[in-house]
Amino acid sequence: LAPFTVEGACNRTVFEIWLPTCLLPVLQPGEWVIMDNATFHHGDRIAQLIEVVGARVVYLPPYSPDLNRIEKCWAWLKSRIRKHLRAATPLRDAMETVLKQVAS
């Protein structure tokens, strides 16, 4: 698990910060990094950074959200966040609470 929150949408800049900061430090040799076909997931530099730690990059087929397990995780995460979210609670705080519970 390599959580990272930003305001706004994810793009190549955000992804290239997240990858070496959050994912690579916890990625183990032999693990797979499965990504959809977002344009910022592609590029030689992205694959090289992942493969240098001994992990493998696998891309899902285009237009296949049914194969993307993260979609189910997002649905679960959103339902948990709604339970922790109060009118006075910032969204980021609720997300961090839930992600810490998952990681522990």
34, 49: one domain:
yes
Tally of domains in the chain = 2
Residues 48 and 72 in one domain: no
- Which pLDDT belongs to residue 101? 79
Over residues 28-40, mean pLDDT: 92
Number of H helices, E strands in the chain: 4, 2
Asked if 26 and 41 sit in the same domain, the reply is: yes
Which residue type, as a one-letter code, is found at position 1?
L
Calpha distance 60→34 (Å, rounded):
7
* pLDDT grade for 21, boundaries at 50, 70 and 90: very high
Global pTM? 0.65
Both 32 and 78 in a single domain? Answer: no
Same domain, yes or no: 26 and 58: yes
* pLDDT one-digit tens code per residue, 82-92: 877 776 677 77
Looking at the fold, whether 11 and 30 belong to one and the same domain comes out as yes
Residues of the domain holding 82: 68-104
Domain match, 1 and 51 both: yes
